[in-house]
Chains A and B, each alone.
Chain A
Amino acid sequence: MTNLIEIRGVTHAYRTAAGELPVLDDLSLAIPEGGFCAVVGPSGCGKSTLTRLIAGLMFPDRGEVLLQGEPVRSPRRNVGMAFQNPVLLEWRTILQNVILPLEIVAPRMPKAQREERARSLLAMVGLEGFSDKRPSELSGGMRQRASLCRALVHKPDILILDEPFGALDAFTREDLWQLMHQLRAEEPFTALLITHDLRESVYLADQVVVLSGRPASTQHVLEIDMPGPRPIDMLYSAQSVQWLAELRAQIEIAQGRSGTRKVMA
């Protein structure tokens, strides 16, 4: 199978006043077309740096980031991003917020067509009646749904999710997890999810990559071999518990090796 994204031996450091701060060290991972990869690891281990490298907002010191076999050398037009903060534009309606990427990627697409596309996505996430509302009128979970629509509206090749469910309450989070499976069934996409939540990674991903502490490298890869859409109670199966225990153990190792715990304490 061809890999949509391939990261080969990426090493990267930030240059700060205090000298070089290495964040990624010989990191590799690969996501096949249509795959869903979750990346977990200790805090501050360079997960967000990884998203910026894939989006083409930053370039690695060493190693390669390949999208469809091509090295990423500039921002890619076919990327959709969603963050922990939904970053909706307050002066636009929900519909206009969702349309935003199309204004950049497909400026010549007729207005009616753009709106139709945005409306169909909003309907898919259960926001049909909220197209003309302002973001401030929506709850946190609804805003995050709209943010997902915006990330998907231009049919990106890769969806980058940087802890999008991190700030939500537990029930809303589970709702949105289920929504992700539903969206994947109706709007196939390839996704990279950054998360701190092991249950989230097991429920959503086909492949969970555990990063070591800073500087991050690939420490462990766990294949979650279960077809979607997955019922939420799959998390309570014996198999899931085993997966979670395995990931938990790997995180312990990652934290131990990084030494960040000692520094923080």
Chain B
Amino acid sequence: MTRRQLQKIVTPIIGILVFLALWEFWVWYMGWPTYKMAAPSDLWPAFWQYRELFLVNAWQTLWRTVVGLGLAVVVGTILGMIMGLSRVMNDGLYPLLVGFNAIPKATVVPVVALVFIGQHDFNTILIAFMISFFPIAVSVAIGLSTLEPEYRDILRSLGASRFTVFWKIALPKTLPEFFGALKVAVTLAFIGTNLVEIVTPHGRGLGSLFDSGRIASNYPLMFAVLIALAILGIVLYYIVVALERIFAGWADRQPT
């Protein structure tokens, strides 16, 4: 392993350790009891005590987020394609989408919960989807509509169909923008899932575990949930980064 690779792994670990040490020191220095602010050293016992709940609930949160995000990718890409390839559709849909995106999703949660009463999985996935499809739709639309006409002309002059131009040029050219948006969307979907889990009392997912910690005034548990959420968020994010390397690695320029 080269020095450079070692540095890439060791530096973030040091960063995390320094952060935890500062946190621990701060709580100790202020002399706060656990019901005011938990220190990192209080979290591990909480993790260990509720380890099964953590595993079950993390899985609940994870699969709903991934399904919601998957839906956002499909719908967002289709919407982006429609808007990017048709001026009329773009003009018609854009204000609608912006308005829809501007509505705080926390206000939508009770509405959805009422409309689809009892459908907890469905509701959670729906909110995760609703909160995360917007950046995907916008980035795909912009990627497609900003395609320089010369790119099109080169293939069109050879008699290529619209679909061929899309498949060979427009789609791959949009991939870097798409993955940029996906990085934002993955975090948003995650927030959406947890929002529903915390607000609606269906008792599943890390959000509900957080809520039960709140009700029982178990502060170490609440903080432990936050850490678990952060870890899940990091894992999801880096899965997207890995996919980006595979499918759009060409856009990554080596610094010279």
B190 to chain A, nearest CB (A): 29
Taking a contact as CB atoms under 8 Å apart, the answer to whether B155 and A104 are in contact is: yes
B238 at the interface (CB under 8 A from A): no
A236 at the interface (CB under 8 A from B): no
Taking a contact as CB atoms under 8 Å apart, the answer to whether A136 and B253 are in contact is: yes
CB-defined contacts of B154 to chain A, threshold 8 Å: 81, 87, 100-101, 150
Taking a contact as CB atoms under 8 Å apart, the answer to whether A89 and B172 are in contact is: yes
CB-defined contacts of B183 to chain A, threshold 8 Å: none
From 67 to 126 in chain A, residues with beta carbon under 8 angstroms from any chain B beta carbon are: 74-77, 79, 81, 83, 85, 87, 89-91, 100-101, 103-105
* Interface of B: prevailing SS: helix
Interface string of B157-172 (1 = CB under 8 A from A): 1111000100011001
Of B5-13, B22-30, B145-153, the segment with at least 4 beta carbons within 8 Å of chain A is B145-153
B250 at the interface (CB under 8 A from A): yes
B173 at the interface (CB under 8 A from A): yes
Taking a contact as CB atoms under 8 Å apart, the answer to whether B157 and A91 are in contact is: no
Taking a contact as CB atoms under 8 Å apart, the answer to whether B159 and A55 are in contact is: no
Taking a contact as CB atoms under 8 Å apart, the answer to whether B159 and A76 are in contact is: yes
Taking a contact as CB atoms under 8 Å apart, the answer to whether B168 and A81 are in contact is: no
B202 at the interface (CB under 8 A from A): no
A150 to chain B, nearest CB (A): 8
A181 at the interface (CB under 8 A from B): no
A252 to chain B, nearest CB (A): 31
Contact of A75 among B157, B248, B251 (CB under 8 A): B157
Taking a contact as CB atoms under 8 Å apart, the answer to whether B148 and A85 are in contact is: yes
Contact of A81 among B148, B153, B159, B175 (CB under 8 A): B153
A154 at the interface (CB under 8 A from B): yes
Contact of B157 among A76, A89, A100, A136 (CB under 8 A): A76
CB-defined contacts of A87 to chain B, threshold 8 Å: 148, 150-151, 154
A188 at the interface (CB under 8 A from B): no
Most buried by B among A52, A87, A104: A104
Taking a contact as CB atoms under 8 Å apart, the answer to whether A134 and B159 are in contact is: no
Query: Which residues on B are within 8 Å of A, measured CB to CB?
Result: 148, 150-151, 153-160, 164, 168-169, 172-173, 175, 248, 250-251, 253
Query: Which residues on A are within 8 Å of B, measured CB to CB?
Result: 52, 55-57, 74-77, 79, 81, 83, 85, 87, 89-91, 100-101, 103-105, 134, 136, 150, 154, 160
Task: Please list 8 pairs of residues, one from A and one from B, whose beta carbons are closer than 8 Å in the complex, sorted by A's number.
Answer: A55-B157, A76-B159, A79-B157, A81-B154, A91-B175, A100-B154, A100-B168, A104-B160
**Known pairs A79-B158, A85-B148, A91-B251 / 4 extra A-B pairs, C-beta < 8 Å:** A75-B157, A85-B150, A136-B253, A160-B157
